[in-house]
Amino acid sequence: MSTISIIGTGNMASAIGKLAVTNGHTVEIIGRDQAKAAEVADSLGGSTTTAEFGAVQAGDIVIVALGYANVVPVVTQFGDALRGKVIVDVCNPVTPTADGLATPDGTSSARMVADAAPAGASVVKAFNTTFGAVLAKGQPVDVLIAGDDEHAKTRVAEFITSLNLRPLDTGGLNMAHYLEATGLVMIGLAQHGVGHFDFALEVTTPR
Amino acid sequence: MSTISIIGTGNMASAIGKLAVTNGHTVEIIGRDQAKAAEVADSLGGSTTTAEFGAVQAGDIVIVALGYANVVPVVTQFGDALRGKVIVDVCNPVTPTADGLATPDGTSSARMVADAAPAGASVVKAFNTTFGAVLAKGQPVDVLIAGDDEHAKTRVAEFITSLNLRPLDTGGLNMAHYLEATGLVMIGLAQHGVGHFDFALEVTTPR
């Protein structure tokens, strides 16, 4: 068990935080709005704490659970406070109409985080193909991940496994762009073929 | 039950053709190599036929089951012979090292097919997130689809349902790019997190 720092106070922050607390981790919630962060920390229970926005985090894994517009600005603001950390980017960078990616061609939210992060930090894409509402149910869903630093990816995979979820590696950080596209396909499914956001993408092996 | 035309003689052509024959459709196999097409038609059994490469097809649905390099050239060669058809593009346009998409930025194989197709033809992206080997097993996998023409998409969805598979709409033809990215994620999973190509992506609803 370890300490996990989560930057964000939305539904992904709450869902991952709750799973972490339930499975014995210590969680630190970090929000620009300290009152909101304290409220989320209270709702998670356990020994969940809050920390100053922009300061060095307690956890070796720092989950950035923010909307796309805030991810790079916040990572830039934290700057050297993220040195040595495993940064997990969970966001789906979609356009306002959710029918395209908002990232420039040839990059991804996770790659932009890697470019903005200080030396010694590693970035792993994870959790963007799992909806918060589904994670919140505690079902053993598949969590697709990507990253260039094998050590960091192994650390994140161990954390995911500790939540009773199944980590599945898709390759290097270049795959983050395609994972973000897969997140958009899930939103398309929710809007068209499925009709709700209460589903998971599962890797199944036929008989 | 209807007649389905399949351009191609590879494993996707065989897998979809076999499912179609098994479920009572008449299949027409069209290949540049007539001997190979006849061989595939024989292997499918039923009343499977072959047809001249480039001629008007018997089916109202024409499945283009070719590798990315051949898709647009073949659709261009068939030209007016595809007028009025529902063209199904199944390909995964990946780079030789399978860690990126081979399509130019801002488009997709399916969109390029639509641009190359004659007036009156409609293009639907389908089957690129289902591996041929898995389809060949006849499991009831999910088939993600995208297209702008609702009538054509409904027709393809009916065909998919008739194969005891589940069609799931992801939206308009702009989503084909993201479906192709999802196909690449599946290849990444096969190479990294799963270790084989014998798996399906399934949409599951948690309890």
- The residues near A20 (Cβ < 8 Å, ≥ 6 apart) are A4, A27, A159, A163
How far is CA A89 from its chain centroid? 5
Q: pLDDT tens for residues B182-198? A: 999 999 999 999 999 99
Taking an 8 Å cut-off on Cβ atoms, the answer to whether B203 and A204 are in contact is no
| DSSP state for residue A94 in the 8-state scheme | B
Q: Which two tokens stand for residue A184?
A: 């958009």
Q: Average model confidence (pLDDT) for chain B?
A: 96
User: Which of A105, A125, A154, A192 should we substitute to test contact with B (largest number of B Cβ atoms within 10 Å)?
Assistant: A192
For chain A, percent of residues with pLDDT exceeding 70: 100
pLDDT at A139: 87
Rounded distance between C-alpha atoms, residue A107 and residue B11, angstroms = 33
CATH number at residue B49: 3.40.50.720
Q: pLDDT tens for residues B7-35? A: 999 999 999 999 999 999 999 999 999 99
- The yes-or-no verdict on residue A160 having pLDDT over 70 is yes
pLDDT at B46: 86
Q: Does A170 touch chain B (CB under 8 A)?
A: yes
pLDDT at B185: 98
Nearest Cα of chain A lies from the Cα of B192 at a distance, in angstroms, of 6
pLDDT at B116: 98
- The residues near A203 (Cβ < 8 Å, ≥ 6 apart) are A142, A168, B189, B193, B194, B199, B200, B201, B202
- The yes-or-no verdict on residue A167 having pLDDT over 90 is yes
Residue A207 lies in a domain: no
B77: how many CB neighbours lie within 10 A of its CB? 14
What total of structural domains would you count in chain A?
1
pLDDT at A66: 97
For residue A132, which of A8, A49, A35 has the smallest C-alpha distance? A8
Q: pLDDT tens for residues A38-69? A: 999 999 998 999 999 999 999 999 999 999 99
- Answer whether A146's CB lies under 8 Å from A172's CB: yes
Q: Average model confidence (pLDDT) for chain A?
A: 96
CB < 8 Å to A168, chain B: 189, 193-194
User: Which of A111, A165, A185 should we substitute to test contact with B (largest number of B Cβ atoms within 10 Å)?
Assistant: A185
Taking an 8 Å cut-off on Cβ atoms, the answer to whether A203 and B202 are in contact is yes
Q: pLDDT tens for residues B100-140? A: 999 998 899 999 999 999 999 999 999 999 999 999 998 89
pLDDT at A150: 97
- The yes-or-no verdict on residue B207 having pLDDT over 80 is no
For chain B, percent of residues with pLDDT exceeding 90: 94
Residue B104 lies in a domain: yes
CB < 8 Å to B184, chain A: 175, 178
Residue A205 lies in a domain: no
Residue B20 lies in a domain: yes
Higher pLDDT, A135 or A205: A135
- Answer whether B35's CB lies under 8 Å from B9's CB: no
> Residue B7 is inside which H or E element, if any?
strand B3-7
How far is CA A56 from its chain centroid? 18
Residue B198 lies in a domain: no
Instruction: Give me the interface pTM, i.e. the ipTM.
Output: 0.94
CB < 8 Å to A101, chain B: 178
Q: pLDDT tens for residues A169-201? A: 999 999 999 999 999 999 999 999 999 999 999
Q: pLDDT tens for residues A17-43? A: 999 999 999 999 999 999 999 999 999
* Residue range of the domain that includes A59: 3-191
Least CB–CB distance from A185: residue in B105, B134, B175: B175
Residue B207 lies in a domain: no
Residue A36 lies in a domain: yes
Residue B39 lies in a domain: yes
pLDDT at A207: 65
Rounded distance between C-alpha atoms, residue A19 and residue B103, angstroms = 39
CB < 8 Å to A199, chain B: 203-206
